[in-house]
């Protein structure tokens, strides 16, 4: 029996997934990764089925971002293998999209929100081929879906953090992915934008496989199928209901390591603490 916080899901209990297929959407087999000589991921194995909604939690430096980058092919694993829909990432690039944590960029960069979202079409169009009118329509649709179409002509540098985050999600959706990876989509945005993005993720969860890294699961908890607690190693990977006990177990590591980045250090958002396994 679980109790949820009053800040519940935006639209009721989780609906059944539509595109569940028998194969594996993302599979990691004993993956390790390192920056220079520092190992940040160690022996991580997991399987994500199509349509699953996975949240990765864990302390800063625990390897959440690295894991997402390994899946999307931005970092070569030191050991182990990564398969996306049964293939190497180079063959599945067009089916997987990545929303990075708010990138550092030149605020004066002369592109509009729409042009940024259109970059999602790059992989579908390929070298030496221009964007087509159809690309434009898909981009418009993606922007409408995340409610940023009215910002289409605004320079990207003039948008707020939350607006920019939604443009990046639109850019990812414009590539029409089957697997969507989001790195801290709820960080550094105001509460209103947060609610919008949470609602958006709930509706996207019905349409594709989602892997999200986060410090704070918040209202999304009821929608999440699987929680992965990552602190260099995958300390826990399973149903959210059992996560708190497992995460408490991992408190046995030095407190300063575990104290930061736990899903619910803030009592106002103490969803996980309220869960009684």
CB of 134 to other proteins, least distance (A): 15
Question: Of 37, 76, 128, 254, which one interacts with other proteins (CB under 8 A)?
Answer: 128
Which residue lies nearer to other proteins by CB, 93 or 248?
93
Tokens of 267: 């009592």
Three-class secondary structure of residue 32 per DSSP: strand
**Phi-psi group of 177: left, alpha or beta (phi > 0 → left; psi -120 to 50 → alpha; rest → beta):** beta
Which residue lies nearer to other proteins by CB, 78 or 122?
122
CB of 108 to other proteins, least distance (A): 6
Q: How far is Cα of residue 137 from the mean position of the Cα atoms in its chain?
A: 25
How big is the CA angle at 181 (ends 95 and 82), to the nearest 5 degrees? 70
Strand partners, 234: 230
Widest CA span in the chain: 57
Interface map 152-181 toward other proteins (x if CB under 8 A): ---x---------------x---x------
Whole-angstrom distance, CA of residue 146 vs CA of residue 29: 34
List own/partner pairs for 135-138 with CB under 8 A and 24 or more apart: 135/174, 138/174, 138/176
102 contacts other proteins (rule: CB under 8 A)? no
CB of 125 to other proteins, least distance (A): 8
CB of 102 to other proteins, least distance (A): 11
Size of the site for other proteins (CB under 8 A): 32
**By CB under 8 A, which span of 37-45, 124-132, 185-193, 202-210 interacts with other proteins?**
124-132
Whether 27 contacts 52, CB under 8 Å: no
Interface map 71-100 toward other proteins (x if CB under 8 A): -xxx------------------xx-xxx-x
Check the CA dihedral 259-264-266-267 and report its sign: negative
Which residue lies nearer to other proteins by CB, 130 or 252?
130
Residues in contact with other proteins by CB under 8 A are: 72-74, 93-94, 96-98, 100, 103, 105-106, 108-112, 115-116, 119-120, 122-123, 125-128, 130-131, 155, 171, 175
């Amino acid at each position: 029996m679980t109790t949820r916080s009053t800040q519940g899901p935006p639209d009721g209990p989780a609906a059944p997934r539509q595109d569940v297929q028998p194969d594996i959407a993302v599979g990691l087999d004993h993956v390790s990764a390192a920056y220079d000589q520092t190992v940040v991921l160690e022996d991580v194995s997991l399987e994500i089925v199509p349509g699953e909604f996975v949240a990765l939690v864990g302390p800063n430096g625990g390897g959440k971002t690295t894991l997402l980058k390994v899946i999307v092919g931005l970092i070569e694993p030191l050991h182990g293998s990564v398969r996306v829909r049964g293939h190497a990432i180079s063959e599945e690039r067009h089916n997987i999209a990545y929303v990075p944590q708010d990138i550092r960029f030149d605020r004066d960069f002369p592109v509009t929100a729409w042009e940024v979202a259109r970059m999602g079409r790059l992989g579908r169009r390929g070298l030496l081929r221009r964007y087509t009118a159809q690309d434009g329509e898909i981009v418009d649709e993606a922007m409408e879906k995340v409610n940023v179409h009215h910002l289409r002509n605004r320079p990207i540098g003039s948008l707020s953090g939350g607006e920019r985050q939604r443009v990046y999600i639109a850019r990812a959706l414009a590539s029409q992915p089957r697997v969507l990876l989001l790195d801290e989509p709820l960080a550094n945005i105001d509460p209103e934008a947060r609610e919008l993005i949470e609602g958006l993720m709930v509706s996207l969860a019905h349409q594709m496989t989602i892997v999200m890294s986060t410090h704070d699961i918040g209202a999304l908890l009821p929608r999440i199928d699987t929680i992965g607690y990552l602190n260099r190693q995958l300390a826990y990977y399973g149903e959210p209901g059992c996560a708190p006990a497992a995460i408490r177990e991992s408190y046995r590591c030095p407190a300063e390591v575990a104290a930061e980045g736990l899903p619910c250090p803030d009592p106002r958002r103490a969803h996980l603490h309220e869960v009684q396994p």
